[in-house]
Amino acid sequence: MTIEIGQPAPDFNAKDQNGELITLSQFKGKKVVLYFYPRDSTPGCTAQACDLRDNYQTLLDQGFVILGISTDTEKKHQNFIAKYDLPFPLIADTEKDVHELYGTWQLKKFMGRESMGTVRTTFIIDENGLISDIISKVKTKEHAAQILN
């Protein structure tokens, strides 16, 4: 599925790091940063999460809710959040249902090998539930600035 700017963001039901059900529709009326990333505790993913953590108050002040999502388990998310003091929820999409909805589970090439994996992508969703921006060239150490610009 291809997601485009201006279209409604696909709603989903998924569990966060504590097993709490999260739906996109519960954030209606708020701006949502839905960021897909490959793996907890890897260098790029850690840099991205820590940049969002370090700029969290600024993002909140601009009216954003941040939701991270990967195929890692709830337990891995709990460890990642504890280790880096992350103030936002991480969704455990172990069955890749949300990834499929947003088209972020794709064939990737790395060092001559092909495999399926998460394509690092951030979707900005406006207060009406519409996609207002898609960041596909994520700068992990400057991601908050990309969102705010």
Left (φ > 0), alpha (ψ -120 to 50) or beta: where does 24 sit? alpha
For residue 47, give the H/E element and its range. Answer: helix 43-54
Q: Annotated catalytic, 50?
A: no
**Of 14, 22, 34, 45, which one is the catalytic site residue?**
45
Helices first, then strands: H and E counts in the chain? 5, 9
CA dihedral sign, ordered 74, 61, 148, 12: positive
Please state, in angstroms and rounded to a whole number, the distance separating the CA atoms of residues 72 and 94.
Answer: 6
Please state, in angstroms and rounded to a whole number, the distance separating the CA atoms of residues 4 and 130.
Answer: 10
Please state, in angstroms and rounded to a whole number, the distance separating the CA atoms of residues 79 and 65.
Answer: 21
Chain position carrying tokens 């455990």: 92
Catalytic site positions: 45
